[in-house]
């Protein structure tokens, strides 16, 4: 296990070049692992099925061992997530360990626990990117991730963060709050932060088409905060899904993208938990090869941008001739009421 400082840190350019080399030079190298550091969250948003309110943080030695295993598999990047990852007291030590392996390191947070101290700890750990989720202007029963609750955190990030910050909103959470996403985008730009927008998925991670009003809001947001992220997601999958049409693509979950739950097991993604359900420490190149060539029946209406993005390098190579399980997901049993 390693908890060493990132001696000889790679520049952002160096990390990016290493990522591209692994994306283009090999089929069986993971490009991104999302690692749950705690299932517990300090919020209880109605549309989320990725949290509970009681789980303890994953022990630091276990997380460091998982980082080491990802490095051994030559994983190019890692995102630490939850639950709420800022509930883990040693998050910065985990980030530092991953950076020490030369991986691109980011995290996802609701921002409620951000402070000047936490930002400085993340700076010192060499975090490279943070996604902070804001869905509306004021909290409601569907989403508690509101601008009113965290705008002062955006100001702190704008002033002190040395890592890139992306504010992400989800369209489709509730029709009456559609224009809130536009205001969130305008606020992100005001603080010099990037904004991206996702499309709401159901409890299986699949399609929920947008209304005409939501489509107009999407167009506004992409003009307020134009970015490669918007353009890439629109081209890869959002254009069809927003109009209720499926996509034809090869999902490489379990290979190019790994979702590692708090018990250390690898699953296809956050919404398809239950398969392959193999401990990361036992995950091998053969497992990666198998999942690379396994067809995912849920893929035509998948809305998960991270999986689409990590799979795009293999759109025209590597046929999927292995039939996947018909019902790999365990999320329905774990979904939050």
Omega prior to 274 cis, within 30 of 0: no
**Would you call 223 exposed, middle or buried from its count of C-beta atoms within 10 A (0-12, 13-18, 19+)?**
exposed
Residue 23 pLDDT exceeds 50: yes
The span from the CA of 255 to the CA of 246, in Å, is: 22
**DSSP 3-state of 139:** coil
- Give percent of the chain above pLDDT 90: 65
Residue 171: beta bridge partners?
Answer: 199
pLDDT value, residue 10: 40
Q: Mean pLDDT throughout 89-95?
A: 98
pLDDT value, residue 123: 98
Model confidence pLDDT, tens digit, residues 221-247? 999 988 888 889 999 998 998 888 899
Residue 49 structure tokens: 């099925």
Model confidence pLDDT, tens digit, residues 121-164? 999 999 999 999 898 888 877 777 889 999 999 999 999 999 99
pLDDT value, residue 44: 77
Residue 102 pLDDT exceeds 60: yes
**CB of 19 closer than 8 Å to CB of 76:** yes
Q: Mean pLDDT throughout 252-271?
A: 97
- Range with the poorest average pLDDT among 58-72, 204-218, 239-253: 204-218
Give me the domains of the chain, ranges plus CATH numbers. Answer: 12-334 (3.20.20.70)
HSE-up of 285 (CA within 13 Å, CB side)?
A: 8
Which has more pLDDT, 51 or 335?
51
Residue 222 structure tokens: 């992409």
pTM over 0.85: yes
pLDDT value, residue 204: 53
**DSSP 3-state of 311:** helix
Contacts 24+ apart (CB under 8 A), 212-221: 213/175, 213/178, 214/171, 214/172, 214/175, 214/178, 214/242, 215/242, 217/171, 217/178, 217/179, 217/181, 217/182, 218/171, 218/242, 220/182, 220/185, 221/169, 221/181, 221/182, 221/185, 221/195, 221/197
Residue 309 pLDDT exceeds 80: yes
Provide the pLDDT confidence category of residue 2 given band limits of 50, 70 and 90: very low
Residue 59 pLDDT exceeds 90: yes
- Range with the poorest average pLDDT among 56-70, 136-150, 217-231, 284-298: 136-150
274 phi/psi in degrees, rounded to 5: 135, -15
**Would you call 156 exposed, middle or buried from its count of C-beta atoms within 10 A (0-12, 13-18, 19+)?**
middle
pLDDT value, residue 202: 55
Residue 54: beta bridge partners?
Answer: none
> By C-alpha distance, which of 180, 185, 238, 174 is closest to 211?
174
> By C-alpha distance, which of 314, 329, 311 is closest to 257?
311
pLDDT value, residue 218: 87
User: Cβ–Cβ contacts within 10 Å for residue 70, how many?
Assistant: 24
Residue 200 pLDDT exceeds 70: no
Q: What is the dihedral of CA 278, 252, 73, 99, to 10 degrees?
A: -110
Residue 294: beta bridge partners?
Answer: 322
Helices (H), the chain: 12-25, 60-72, 91-100, 116-124, 147-160, 178-190, 212-224, 228-233, 239-242, 285-292, 305-311, 331-334
> By C-alpha distance, which of 121, 208, 222 is closest to 173?
208
Cα(first)–Cα(last) distance of the chain, in Å? Answer: 38
The side-by-side arrangement of strands in the sheet containing 129-133 is 194-199, 164-171, 129-133, 104-109, 77-81, 32-36, 257-260, 265-267, 276-279
Q: Mean pLDDT throughout 261-286?
A: 96
pLDDT value, residue 330: 47
Query: What is the chain's mean pLDDT, rounded?
Result: 88
The span from the CA of 150 to the CA of 112, in Å, is: 6
- Range with the poorest average pLDDT among 89-103, 122-136, 217-231, 246-260: 217-231
């Amino acid at each position: 296990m390693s908890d060493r400082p990132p001696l000889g840190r790679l520049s952002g350019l160096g990390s990016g070049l290493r990522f591209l080399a692994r994306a283009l030079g090999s089929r069986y190298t993971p490009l991104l692992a999302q690692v749950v550091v705690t299932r517990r969250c300090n919020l209880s948003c109605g549309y989320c099925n990725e949290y509970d309110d009681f789980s303890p943080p994953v022990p630091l030695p276990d997380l460091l061992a998982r980082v080491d295993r990802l490095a051994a598999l030559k994983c190019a990047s890692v995102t630490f997530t939850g639950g709420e990852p800022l509930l883990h007291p040693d998050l910065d030590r985990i980030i530092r360990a991953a950076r020490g392996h030369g991986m691109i390191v980011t995290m996802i947070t609701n921002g409620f626990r951000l402070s000047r101290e936490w930002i400085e700890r993340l700076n010192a750990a060499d975090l490279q990117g943070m996604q902070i989720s804001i869905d509306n202007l004021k909290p409601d029963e569907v989403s508690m991730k509101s601008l009113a609750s965290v705008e002062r955190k955006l100001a702190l990030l704008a002033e002190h963060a040395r890592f890139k910050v992306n504010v992400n909103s989800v369209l489709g959470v509730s029709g009456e709050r559609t224009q809130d996403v536009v205001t969130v985008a305008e606020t992100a730009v005001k603080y010099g932060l990037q904004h991206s927008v996702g499309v709401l998925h159901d409890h299986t991670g699949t399609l929920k088409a947008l209304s005409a009003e939501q489509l107009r809001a999407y167009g506004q947001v992409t003009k307020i905060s134009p970015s490669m992220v918007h353009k890439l997601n629109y081209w890869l999958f959002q254009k069809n899904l927003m109009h209720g049409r499926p996509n034809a693509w090869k999902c490489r979950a379990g290979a190019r993208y790994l979702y590692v739950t708090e018990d250390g097991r690898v699953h296809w993604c956050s919404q398809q938990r239950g398969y392959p359900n193999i401990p990361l420490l036992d995950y091998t190149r053969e497992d990666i090869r198998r999942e690379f060539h396994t067809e995912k029946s849920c893929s035509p209406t998948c809305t998960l941008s991270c999986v689409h993005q990590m799979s795009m390098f293999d759109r025209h190579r590597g046929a999927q001739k292995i039939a996947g399980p018909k019902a790999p997901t365990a999320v329905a049993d774990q979904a939050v009421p």
